[in-house]
């Protein structure tokens, strides 16, 4: 298994249109999907945001968006998803590591942070397997992770 990350650009951003939404997803997962399918591509197209695609060979595995955090000298991984058809195969941790490595380089920063809703069991497990939580859940129910 060898995953590669490439920056999302105006040339490849249409690839995200092939991603299907998860039926019955909880609201925090729906928001992530809307963000990655609509808002993040718009930011790429208007050059106001950054993102990446994770591939295994020609197969698109995961998509993520990131941008500088407005308060900390860290890059914020705003959203991350594994393509619905490839879920539950244990790919998420590897894909997340690949995405984080890309963000470290692309954003030229030491720290990458991301927030996970405490009810998002799947993403919590995935996050805990690559980093320790930086904080317990906040008032909105989001746990912060930072790497390193």
Partner 1 sequence: MRMLTGPIASFSKSHLRDPKVVATASQGLVEIRLGGDADPVGMLPMRMIREQQEVHALAQTFIRAMVALRQEKPSPVLLGEVAYVADWSRDEQDRFLDGFAEAMAESLRMNDPAPARFYVKLMSIPDSEYRSPQFTGNVTGASADIIDAKVGLRR
Q: Taking CB under 8 A as the rule, does residue 142 contact partner 1? A: yes
Q: Taking CB under 8 A as the rule, does residue 60 contact partner 1? A: no
Q: Taking CB under 8 A as the rule, does residue 31 contact partner 1? A: yes
CB 55 within 8 A of CB 95: no
Q: In the block, which residue shows the tokens 């591939």? A: 55
CB 4 within 8 A of CB 101: no
Half-sphere exposure of 130 (CA within 13 A, CB side): 23
Residue 74 binding result from ligand COA, partner 1, none, given CB thresholds of 5 to 8 Å by partner type: partner 1
Q: Which helix (H) or strand (E) holds 44?
A: helix 40-45
Q: Which x/- pattern over 35-64 shows residues binding ligand COA (rule: CB under 6 A)?
A: ------------------------------
> Contact region for partner 1 (CB under 8 A) — 24-32, 50-58, 83-91, 92-100?
24-32
């Amino acid at each position: 298994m060898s995953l590669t990350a490439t920056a999302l650009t105006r040339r490849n951003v249409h690839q995200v249109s092939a991603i299907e939404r998860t039926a019955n997803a909880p609201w925090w997962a729906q928001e992530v999907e809307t963000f990655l399918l609509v808002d993040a591509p718009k930011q790429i197209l208007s050059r106001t945001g950054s993102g990446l695609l994770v591939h295994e060979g020609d197969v698109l595995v995961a998509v993520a968006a990131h941008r500088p955090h407005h308060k900390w000298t860290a890059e914020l991984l705003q959203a991350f998803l594994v393509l619905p058809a490839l879920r539950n195969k244990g790919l998420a941790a590897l894909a997340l590591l690949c995405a984080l490595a890309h963000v470290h380089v692309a954003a030229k920063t030491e720290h990458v942070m991301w927030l996970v809703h405490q009810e998002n069991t799947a993403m919590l497990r995935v996050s805990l397997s690559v980093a320790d939580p930086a904080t317990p859940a906040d008032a909105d129910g989001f746990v912060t992770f930072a790497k390193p």
